[in-house]
């Protein structure tokens, strides 16, 4: 995240880093509702405000309506002072007046007028784009849409995956505890721990430098085991970076096998290499390439791989809690482009698969066009394929993780 780059320039305490992170992520996550408050309280609509003033108002309003640990007077005074220090002195009285109106509204329980339309209510209350509110209701109905929207606004859990080649869950948990980090087991994740308490830079936590664990959401930990990979098998991870599932695969086969990690980003692939070195994993080979062209670029790979993981580029709508800005960056048009790319990648995998082999297709989105409908279209055009299994995980469900989809596809022997 960009905020980590900023943190690297300053010597901030753990408490200050946590506060700054909440202010930034919270203001971005709730941008729609914060804009609605500006529209309601100000004479000039939010989108016509000077951009810097708008962002500052977001931060001030977020503290007033969403945070308890910052006194509202401090939120108002600090925001106004920052405006003065950033060439907005002329508009500082405007910011002061609006924020004081917000404080009064918060104290009296005043609310923004609510739309009579359900999709607009969902967008307004949970600060999601209107198009996404419409889609959530269409996909899952009103009650489930509310649960998904609520989950998308919660601070996500920090889940770890223990490297079974370097440690055990019990030993890693004890080492973390000795370092002041409390954790719990994750149901359904045999190598998973979720952090209950503890802070600071994760890279300084016990076991990180020793390669004993990786940060990986519990839903993401569900994917690699679906391949049922065995030591010695030939495995392709076609869109590998940042490498969480690649390293998981290597751990599951006891670091014995031929795993190829392919990605179209050389920079991200290099980071994957560094992480696998930290984890002490040596069974992975790397190739910088467009996975959809592999049968042409690597003719010897035709019919070669027993297992293929295609963790496809997607809209990421299952990770909105973890990526607060994503809801404002992704659009229906971008999703259409991604659907075309996913289809191209799936078609590119088929020539590489050995008869009797398996493809696991996965995404971190909840959009059926990228998931079940994508696979339905792919299977319908290939008589040699059989859909063995598919499942959609939604945010807000009992498992408590990100929204993910996976399908297991078999190639007839």
| pLDDT tens-digit series, residues 119-139 | 999 999 999 999 999 999 999
Q: Please provide the average confidence, as pLDDT, over all residues in the chain.
A: 94
- Between 372-380 and 332-349, two packed helices, what is the crossing angle to 10 degrees? 40
Domains in the chain and their CATH numbers?
2-113 (1.10.940.10), 118-153 (no CATH), 159-215 (3.30.70.1170), 219-411 (3.40.50.150)
pTM, two decimals, is 0.93
Q: Which of 25, 189, 239, 364 does the annotation list as catalytic?
A: 364
The residue that leads in pLDDT, 32 or 15, is 32
Residue 10 has pLDDT above 90, yes or no: no
Mean pLDDT of 299-323: 97
Query: Could you confirm whether 364 is annotated as catalytic?
Result: yes
Report pLDDT digits (tens) over 258-297. 999 999 999 999 999 999 999 999 999 999 999 999 999 9
Mean pLDDT of 56-70: 93
Mean pLDDT of 243-265: 96
Distance of CA 345 to the CA centre of its chain: 21
Residue 27 has pLDDT above 90, yes or no: yes
Residue 191 has pLDDT above 90, yes or no: yes
Q: How confident is the model at residue 381 (pLDDT cuts 50, 70, 90)?
A: confident
């Amino acid at each position: 995240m960009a905020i980590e780059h900023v943190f690297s320039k300053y010597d901030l305490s753990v408490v200050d880093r946590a506060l700054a992170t909440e202010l930034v992520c919270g203001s971005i996550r709730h941008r729609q509702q914060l804009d609605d408050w500006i529209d309601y309280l100000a004479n000039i609509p939010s989108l016509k405000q000077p951009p810097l003033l708008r962002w500052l108002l977001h931060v001030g309003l977020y503290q007033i309506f969403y945070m308890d640990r910052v006194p509202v007077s401090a939120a108002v005074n600090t925001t106004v002072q920052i405006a003065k220090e950033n060439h907005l002195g002329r508009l500082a009285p405007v910011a002061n007046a609006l924020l004081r109106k917000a404080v009064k509204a918060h104290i009296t329980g005043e609310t923004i007028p609510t739309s009579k339309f359900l999709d607009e209510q969902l967008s307004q209350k949970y600060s999601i784009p209107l198009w996404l509110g419409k889609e959530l209701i269409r996909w899952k109905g009103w009650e489930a849409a509310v649960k998904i929207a609520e989950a998308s606004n919660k601070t996500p859990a920090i889940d770890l995956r223990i490297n079974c080649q370097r440690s055990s869950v019990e030993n890693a948990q004890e080492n973390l505890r000795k370092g002041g980090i409390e954790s719990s087991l994750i149901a359904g994740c045999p190598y998973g721990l979720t952090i209950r308490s503890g802070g600071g830079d994760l890279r300084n936590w016990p076991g990180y430098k020793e390669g004993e664990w990786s940060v990986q959401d519990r839903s993401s930990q569900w994917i690699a085991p679906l391949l049922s990979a065995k030591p010695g098998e030939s495995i392709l991870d076609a869109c590998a970076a940042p490498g969480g599932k690649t390293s998981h695969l290597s751990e599951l086969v006891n670091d014995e096998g031929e795993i190829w990690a392919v990605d179209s980003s050389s920079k991200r692939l290099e980071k994957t290499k560094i992480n696998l070195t930290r984890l002490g994993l040596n069974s992975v080979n790397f190739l910088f390439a467009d996975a959809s062209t592999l049968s042409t670029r690597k003719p010897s790979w035709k019919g070669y791989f027993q297992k293929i993981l295609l963790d496809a580029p997607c809209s990421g709508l299952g990770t909105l809690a973890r990526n607060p800005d994503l809801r404002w960056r992704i659009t229906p048009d971008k999703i259409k482009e991604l659907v075309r790319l996913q289809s191209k990648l799936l078609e590119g995998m088929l020539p590489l698969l050995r008869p009797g082999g398996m493809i696991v297709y996965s995404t971190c989105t909840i959009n059926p066009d990228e998931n079940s409908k994508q696979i339905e279209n792919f299977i319908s055009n290939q008589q040699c394929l059989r859909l063995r299994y598919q499942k959609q995980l939604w945010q807000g469900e009992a498992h408590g993780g990100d929204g993910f989809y996976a399908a297991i596809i078999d190639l007839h022997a």
